[in-house]
Amino acid sequence: MAVAPPSYCFVAFPPRAKDGLVVFGKNSARPRDEVQEVMYFSAADHEPESKVECTYISIDQVPRTHAIVISRPAWLWGAEMGANEHGVCIANEAINAREPAAETEALLGMDLVRLGLERGRTAKEALDVIVALLEEHGQGGNYYEDADSCHSFQSAYLIVDREEAWVLETVGKYWAAEQITEGVKCICNQLSLTTKIDAEHPELRSYAQSQGWWTGEDEFNFSQVFSLADDHLDCCAGKDSLEKKEESITVQTMIDILRDKASGVCIDSESFLTTASVVSVLPQNRSSPCIHYFTGTPDPSRSIFKPFIFVDDVKLVPKAQSPCFGDNDPAKKEPRFLEKPDRRHELYKAHEWARAVIESDQEQGRKLRKTMLELEKQGLEAMEEILTSSDPLDPTEVGDLFYDCVDTEIKFFK
């Protein structure tokens, strides 16, 4: 069975989070050489009976999809993490369970992240979208761009809006979910739900009984019932990082947690790397905008978190988008992945230089990292002003926000 990469996602609610803000964060641990791109898709109306082509299969399209911004492995359709114009954020975790994940091509967990964002106006609505599609189409197929073996996983999700979060954990088409409205929560690449289940697949318990995993007499504990025998552990690295924070949790706190290699939250191992990260701030006061900070580059400890705000006229950022290979993409042709094209975008290539400098030259690397953090700090301070201002947001001022940040970063590296 493939090893699930040790990714982490977090959410913190007031009063643990500061100033009436919900703070969401995710590190995406993926194969080391995989490129992630940051993509914006505007809201759109669709023709009746039209289809949407996901990573491996096509499904029925809905009449209208919401505007979304996502970070995704450049070879697939879905997303590792992202947000929509209504302040919904979703992140996905690959997990192993007692029931092996299907290798048959269906929807990937990452497809369901994007579908939930495109179709859900609230966290609960996105959850309902995901479980309905899971029931109809199932999940399965290769999670990696790898021709030699199929790495398939079950999926867990952290689905967040300004009011609440849902932890959704799935095994095949079966699922359980817990609602969270206070405190902090971390999920990682293991099942975590226990006896507090606020919504579930109608046949979840009878299925567990039919497999001989639950007697029907003991209290039903989801992760005990569905985890592999040796895998029922807590995501302690991430949980401890968040719970140990005595002060209020801010965007900066969340960024610091995602950068922490000592705790294991920021992965840099032989096989896996944190290939992209995101932090989102969702003010519970609806007159303030949600702000989403994406790296678009690997290793958050050596990356700049750059802000994005939804407005009607968002400027696209080709420099953070990978080359498009159309129908000739080896990920779209069967047998799949016979070649691995160069998917590096302009931001990724510029950042590769920076990473090499930081690794090889102590003095120059220290200076470079200091300047990167100063650039990031300017962005964070400007966003703080927007959040604390009583004036309404001027859309013309932020439509090219992410574009300008990416442009500045690339120029700086050059």
Residues assigned a catalytic role: 9
Coil, strand, or helix at residue 71?
A: strand
Among 146, 137, 143, smallest CA distance to 155 is for 143
- Residue reference for tokens 């899971």: 134
Where is 410: in which H helix or E strand?
helix 401-413
Measured CA distances, 317 to 92, 224, 268, 320, 404 (Å): 24, 44, 27, 6, 9
Other C-beta atoms within 10 Å of 411: how many?
9
Among 10, 13, 2, 40, smallest CA distance to 300 is for 10
Cα 146 to Cα 165: distance, rounded to the nearest angstrom: 33
What is the Rg, in whole angstroms, of the alpha carbon atoms belonging to the chain?
A: 20
- The first and second tokens of residue 96, run together, are 């192993």
Residues 6 or more apart whose Cβ sits within 8 Å of residue 230: none
Max intra-chain CA distance, the chain: 65
Provide the H-helix boundaries in 187-227. Answer: 204-210, 222-226
Among 17, 37, 27, smallest CA distance to 255 is for 27
CB 234 within 8 A of CB 192: yes
CB 284 within 8 A of CB 163: yes
Cα 82 to Cα 126: distance, rounded to the nearest angstrom: 12
End-to-end CA distance of the chain: 43
